[in-house]
Amino acid sequence: MGRIILRLDRVMADRKMSLNELSELVGVANVNLSKLKNGHISAIRFSTLIAICEALQCQPGDILEYASDNNEIR
């Protein structure tokens, strides 16, 4: 079975946005965004994903990537 790779840290770095800034814009606690950023989650609400995409002006595919077991991670 494949897996989802989180690229939130990359998009935040590209936008020069800190976790604190994103937390304030999205309305999600720093600790929860940190877990998301570090891949320590098993689910994300669409409302949270929408808020993150709006704050970072990105698409879900910019922060989420699917990798099958046969593919190497980029």
Alpha-carbon span 50 to 45, nearest angstrom: 9
44 falls within a domain: yes
Tally of domains in the chain: 1
Confirm whether 50 is domain-assigned. Answer: yes
Return the SS3 of 73.
coil
Q: Is residue 8 part of a domain?
A: yes
CATH number at residue 57: 1.10.260.40
Instruction: Decide if 35 is inside a domain.
Output: yes
Is 74 domain-assigned? no
Q: Which residue range forms the structural domain that includes residue 21?
A: 3-67
Q: Name the residue among 2, 4, 3, 1 with its Cα closest to residue 60.
A: 4
**pLDDT tens sequence across 8-45:** 999 999 999 999 999 999 999 999 999 999 989 999 99
Closest CA to 55 of 41, 73, 38, 36: 36
* 46 or 1, higher pLDDT: 46
AA identity, residue 7? R
Flag whether the pTM goes above 0.75: yes
Confidence tier at 1 by pLDDT (50, 70, 90): confident
Q: Is the dihedral of CA 49, 21, 5, 74 positive or negative?
A: positive
